[in-house]
């Protein structure tokens, strides 16, 4: 964790499509949208002074559900925004909604749910409560119905 004590609920990241992210039709490959969402999620955690995977941590945050709907294609060199917001926090999970847009045009919308798990050598992962120092830095975005 860094010294930032800000609580966050949403974050916007600007990005440009790289050539390696496109398929033979010249459009961004569908799998890249999941990476974009995760990139914005990690940037949001950094904004809150956190890392989703700090060295030596005994907890992790595997993805337990992810989905996307595609509305318009993205192509090489397109600039776009990734907006991610926290839609729910439970004792052990965090859920997000994500929108990718190019200007005023919605390109894709997705959802992601992560679970907090305990990591111990030689043991299977086990769901555990989100540590208080993490929960204190994240909050559900205003206007989100639970």
Instruction: Say what the pTM is.
Output: 0.92
Q: Is the pLDDT reported for residue 26 higher than 70?
A: yes
Question: Which H, E and C letters describe 6-34, residue by residue?
Answer: CCECEEEEEEECCHHHECCCCEECCCHHH
- Burial of 114 (C-beta count, 10 Å sphere; 0-12/13-18/19+): buried
pLDDT class for 143, splitting at 50, 70, 90? confident
Please provide the size of the chain in residues. Answer: 146
> CATH classification of 10-135 is 3.10.129.10, yes or no?
yes
Q: What is the pLDDT of residues 43-86, one digit of tens each?
A: 999 999 999 999 999 999 999 999 999 999 999 999 999 999 99
- Pairing state between β 117-118 and 59-60: antiparallel
pLDDT class for 109, splitting at 50, 70, 90? very high
Q: How confident is the prediction for the chain on average, in pLDDT?
A: 94
In the chain, the N- to C-terminal Cα span, in Å, equals 28
Find the mean pLDDT for residues 77-105. 98
């Amino acid at each position: 964790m860094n010294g930032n004590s800000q609580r966050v609920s949403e974050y916007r990241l600007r990005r440009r499509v790289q050539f390696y992210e496109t398929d033979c039709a010249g459009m961004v490959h569908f799998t890249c949208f999941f990476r974009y969402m995760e990139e914005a999620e990690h940037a949001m955690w950094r904004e809150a002074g956190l890392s989703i995977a700090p060295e030596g941590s005994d907890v992790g945050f595997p993805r337990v559900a992810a989905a996307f709907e595609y509305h318009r294609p993205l192509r090489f060199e397109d600039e776009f925004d990734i907006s991610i917001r926290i839609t729910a926090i439970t004792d052990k999970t965090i859920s997000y909604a994500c929108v990718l847009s190019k200007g005023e045009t919605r390109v894709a919308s997705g959802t992601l749910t992560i679970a907090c798990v305990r990591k111990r050598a030689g043991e299977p992962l086990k769901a555990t409560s989100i540590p208080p120092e993490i929960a204190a830095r994240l909050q559900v975005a205003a206007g989100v119905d639970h």
